[in-house]
Amino acid sequence: MKAEILTVGTELLMGQTVNTNAAEIAQMLAEVGVGVYYQTIVGDNPERLEQAVQTAVSRADLLVACGGLGPTEDDLTRETVAQVLETPLKRDEGWARRLVELFERRGRPFGKNNLRQAMVPEGGILLENPNGTAPGIYLERGDLTVVLLPGPPHEMRALMREEVMPRLALGLAGTQRSAVLVSKMLRVVGVGESRAVELLEPILASQSNPTIAPLAKLAEVHLRITASAPDGAEAERLIAQASEQIRAKLGDAVYGEDETTLEQAVGELLKQQKQTLTVAESCTGGLLSHRLTNVPGSSGYYVGGVVAYSNAFKIAALSVDDEVIEREGAVSDTVATGMARGARSASGADIAVAITGIAGPGGGSAEKPVGLTFIALADDSGEVCRRYEFWGGREQIKARAAQSALELLRRHLLNRGE
């Protein structure tokens, strides 16, 4: 099957937005063995969009078009595709009603142009979009499959995962497809990319099928294992083998697979060990708490936390000793430890993690440079504290500090559980 991805939007064409959608769609298609042969980007221009759709349907078996499904006059994808395929558009009354109700519920006036989003090419299937007003569309016409997706990444992603991929897999099951491509991601933390590559040298040197591709992320490394096989079971077997070899080298540094996040891995350990958690954040400003609470069900182990940004708040909310702050500065191991201890007793949680540091760009000195961070952990056995020096801009330093705090906590739970 030859696929083409067409992304539509002047902001992409002009380079104001980086085209992550095309990359994500291509990756998902590769998972089911569908190869992308072309990617095209056009702006919100009717003639060029039409030409691009024309070209795509003439050379591809699968066209995935993303963007241009919204309510405004700029949004032309639905109409253009219908026109090229010479298919009339019909209104989906269910979706039209849903739009009207949505606007009513939000107390907003309903512009008629919104109803364009309920139009579906004849023979097409409306894919319900849980995150937005423009649904996706799935259309099969002889050997050609056309998929239309809204442009906001989270809307595109959800529709691809929940609606498009299952349909494609079903369609592919019946056809002559050469091989299945299956990928698995191993997620590694606490080991840099170059160190991971060193440790995996013998495995990486001899790889052919599956292939193993290391990918550096912010303060973690992802290893993508991709196997090609006549069927899924064989591909899974090859992946399991490679995965085992990697785990033998990296041990606990592999914290999860595929979409598992570090905060999910930590959450699982907390649940297993029936421990509750609180946090006290200074330089990360709430990011650690935000990440912890991105996990559905986190209220089962996370009681809440304190963002103690000012010194006064560290003293008031966490009972940190003002003399210690005065003497050693807010960014010090004593204050980090004091914050953890204070957070634990204020919240009654089993474990407390505290972070204090200098996120920059201001506030650094020769002795205490931007990026200097202390992370402390308190539980019934006492407190530990570690010193870090992170680099990067303000948001990177916040991100690295939150990541390191999760990793410190994960290590603590792994050791505790032994």
Q: Which of residues 335-364 bind a second copy (CB under 8 A)?
A: 346-348, 359-362
Binding of residue 203 to a second copy (CB under 8 A) = no
Taking contact as CB under 8 A, which single stretch among the options 119-127, 136-144, 233-241, 388-396 is the one that binds a second copy? 388-396
The sign of the torsion formed by the CA atoms of 253, 255, 258, 264 equals: negative
Which window, 139-147, 195-203, 232-240, 407-415, contacts a second copy (CB under 8 A)? 195-203
Identity of the residue, 87 or 313, whose beta carbon is nearer to a second copy in the bound complex: 313
As a whole number of angstroms, the distance between CA 23 and CA 64 comes to: 12
Cβ at position 289, least distance to a second copy in Å:
3
Nearer to a second copy, 87 or 394 (CB): 394
Q: Give the whole-angstrom CA distance, residue 93 versus residue 396.
A: 47
Q: What is the longest distance spanned by two Cα atoms in the chain?
A: 78
Among 245, 260, 261, 293, indicate the residue that binds a second copy (CB under 8 A): 293
* Binding flag, residue 216, a second copy (CB under 8 A): yes
Token pair for 180: 């299945």
**Which residues between 302 and 321 bind a second copy (CB under 8 A)?**
302-310, 312-314, 316-317
By CB under 8 A, the residues from 232 to 271 that bind a second copy are: none
Which tokens go with 216? 């550096």
C-beta of 136 vs 305, nearer to a second copy: 305
Of 306, 244, 245, whose CA–CA distance to 281 is shortest? 306
Q: What is the DSSP letter of 117?
A: G
Asked if residue 220 binds a second copy (CB under 8 A), the reply is no
Work out how close the CB of 322 gets to a second copy at its nearest, in angstroms, rounded to a whole number. Answer: 15
Cα(166)–Cα(184) distance, integer angstroms = 18
CB of 285 to a second copy, least distance (A): 3
The dihedral of CA 191, 193, 197, 203: what is its sign?
Answer: positive
Q: At 393, list the tokens.
A: 């801009």
* Distance of alpha carbon 276 from alpha carbon 290, whole angstroms: 16
356, 363 in Cβ contact below 8 A?
A: no
Q: Which is nearer to a second copy, 67 or 121 (CB)?
A: 67
Is residue 8 close enough to count as binding a second copy by CB under 8 A?
A: no
Query: Using the rule CB under 8 A, which residue among 253, 288, 336, 385 binds a second copy?
Result: 288
Pick 122 or 395: Cβ nearer a second copy? 395
In 143-189 the beta strands, taken as DSSP E runs, fall at 144-149, 180-188
Residue 11 C-beta: closest distance to a second copy, Å: 6
Pattern of binders to a second copy over 68-97, x per CB under 8 A?
Answer: --xxxxx-----------------------
Q: Which amino acid is at 363?
A: G
Q: How many CB atoms lie within 10 A of CB 334?
A: 18
- Asked if 292 interacts with a second copy (CB under 8 A), we say yes
Angle, helices 394-417 vs 262-272, to 10°: value is 30
Q: With binding defined as CB under 8 A, does residue 131 bind a second copy? A: yes
Q: What is the helix (H) or strand (E) element at residue 310, kind and residue range? A: none
**Residue 331, both tokens:** 């960014």
* Contact flags string 98-127 toward a second copy, x per CB under 8 A: ----x--xx-xx-x-xx-------------
H-state helical runs in 348-393? none
The answer to whether 150 touches 67, Cβ cutoff 8 Å, is yes
The CA-to-CA distance between both ends of the chain, in Å, stands at: 49
Interface mask toward a second copy for 44-73; x: CB under 8 A = xx--x---x--x--------------xxxx
Closer to a second copy by Cβ: residue 272 or 294: 294
* Segment interacting with a second copy (CB under 8 A) among 139-147, 164-172, 215-223, 231-239: 215-223
Is residue 215 within the footprint of a second copy (CB under 8 A)? yes
